[in-house]
A = this chain, B = another copy of it.
């Protein structure tokens, strides 16, 4: 029997991992709800028309597609038959001519060639072509040679006898000027052609042709496009501004590697239907609350604005804004010199590049950066708009800080070099990095102005934030940030010695459960050691041992598995102890 395996790039989450993941999810969900976001779930599968064309060409190839349950064989056959017909019409003439030309040239060059031997003819054609003696394009030669040397037995049978006649015919009529017309209408030609065509029918079926034929649905690639689709479909029922959060898995047929999976969760919160910068300020606060709740203390919330980047682009005098963004995005990875090289190769002038880097390299507080940029952007409308937005976001955080013990600007850093990959951002952009942990960004987002436009609802501004659970998980493991409570197990297991104490223990279990204490009774009759082992392995913190003495006295032995201590207590005291621990 074959051992079962998991599809590559996918994972099971066992109890210990699940508990930690639920800890992350629960905290993010709590924060989202505290800020007025409401939950949404969309189906795992979407129509391909909803998904394709939204993630670029590469994204399209990474979609997982569902094979239609309908008659896909019929669709493929119909497609093949159609292809066959159009092929006959389209390339029939040129093929016929090519074959005739090749045969004619061969027979002029080698009038005494043995036309029985098609392998010889094939090799002859190759040789003549290689020596420049055949005046046909390489692809035509390949076509004919491949046909001649094809090893399919059904072709050999057919070709063998046919070619003899065919070459003989051409040989005999070599001097006649009208041969081409005559030969082309000769049944041999039609037959040859037909045979070749049936080859082409298969040859011409590519993944690109087939995949749309047999798939109408795909698995969602992110939560943003389904959200946009939902908003458009429900726009008459939705109360705008619409604040939704969504915590669901997404699927990408990426090549799996360390930290990159084919199924992974995204945790998104978005507001659409308002351009109020309060949403940006709330995103900063939510990030702070999430990281606080997760016990991650040392992190940076980088913030920038697409219009500020546009302002930078204006300073270079180049129209090629997106090339500049792409290059700046690499600064962290490849360094200043390589970025400059790339910009030069993209046609940016040295003067412009210097202007950009004098800004990127400016050191100072957020306030100093803003003051510096205000001068630089004196002539840039876009730059000014970006700065004004950013200042207002910071101002709103300032207002938030009027109460509360911590500064609402804490962890926030204005990073002029932050660019973010996705093309749809138009306003503020965010990225969160955990300091001193070698993991990329664990959260990111920004404002977009036309996400629903592609579904027919233009001019809906929105802003969102997304948390990457897998990276947060890994970072928290590295930081040992998971608390005790990120564990899901019974609070107490009841061990027993015989049937009488087993039966007695059920009443005890029921009392504990009635007080909300997660309790399990070891289900089998087994030695105490085995029962304790089970509790240990499942990380159950307390064991209640019930022997006949305990049953009689009502004073049960409560064992603290971590401390190794035990005490004899009545059931009420036990319940109280368990609830307080």
Q: Which residues of A contact B (CB under 8 A)?
A: 1-7, 10-15, 18-19, 21-22, 33-36, 38-47, 49-50, 61, 64-67, 69, 71-73, 76-77, 80-81, 84-85, 88-89, 152-155, 157-158, 161-162, 165, 187, 190-191, 194-195, 197-198, 201-203, 205-207, 209-211, 214-217, 219, 229-230, 232-234, 237, 239, 241, 243-244, 249, 251, 253, 263, 271, 274, 276, 278-279, 281, 285, 289, 395-396, 399-404, 408, 455-456, 488-490, 493, 503-504, 506-511, 513-514, 516-521, 523-524, 534, 537-538, 540
Contacts and interface: CB of A to CB of B under 8 A. Distances in A.
A450 to B, nearest CB: 13
A36 B542 CA distance: 13
B165 A187 contact: yes
Nearest to A536: B239
B80 A518 contact: no
A276 to B, nearest CB: 4
B42 A12 contact: yes
Contacts of A263: 43-45
Nearest to A152: B85
A88 B155 CA distance: 10
Nearest to A281: B506
Contacts of A161: 187, 190
Question: Which residue of A162, A187, A229 has the most chain B CB atoms within 10 A of its CB atom?
Answer: A187
Nearest to A454: B1
Nearest to A233: B4
Contacts of A503: 395-396, 399
Contact of A65 (B12, B67, B237): B67
Contact of A66 (B36, B65, B534): B65
B205 A73 contact: yes
Contact of A197 (B47, B154, B191, B396): B154
A73 B154 contact: no
A510 B408 contact: yes
B15 A157 contact: no
Contacts of A7: 43, 45-47, 216-217
Number of this chain's copies in the assembly equals 2
Question: Which residue of A35, A243, A518, A523 has the most chain B CB atoms within 10 A of its CB atom?
Answer: A523
B64 A66 contact: yes
A406 to B, nearest CB: 10
A418 to B, nearest CB: 24
Given A18-B39, A66-B67, 6 more contacts: A7-B45, A18-B41, A43-B263, A84-B152, A396-B503, A399-B507
A511 B202 contact: no
A2 B520 CA distance: 55
B205 A84 contact: no
B41 A13 contact: yes
A4 B194 contact: no
A518 B34 contact: yes
Contacts of A271: 523
11 contacts: A4-B229, A21-B41, A38-B538, A64-B69, A65-B67, A73-B206, A157-B194, A191-B195, A243-B520, A396-B503, A399-B503
A580 to B, nearest CB: 18
Contacts of A524: 241, 274, 276
Contacts of A201: 198
A506 B276 CA distance: 14
B43 A154 contact: no
B239 A538 contact: yes
A73 B249 CA distance: 29
A226 to B, nearest CB: 8
A88 B493 CA distance: 70
Contact of A396 (B210, B279, B506, B508): B506
B490 A36 contact: yes
Contacts of A158: 187, 190-191, 194
A85 B11 CA distance: 42
Given A34-B519, A35-B518, A455-B1, A509 B153 contact: no
B403 A511 contact: yes
A513 B207 contact: no
A178 to B, nearest CB: 18
A85 B401 CA distance: 78
Contacts of A285: 510, 513
Contacts of A21: 41
Contact of A537 (B33, B88, B198, B239): B239
Contact of A513 (B34, B215, B401): B34
A180 B46 CA distance: 59
Contacts of A537: 239
A3 B235 CA distance: 12
Nearest to A201: B198
A88 B229 CA distance: 51
Contact of A44 (B44, B80, B157, B162): B44
A3 B276 CA distance: 28
A76 B399 contact: no
Nearest to A456: B1
B219 A38 contact: no
Nearest to A226: B12
Contacts of A488: 33, 38-39
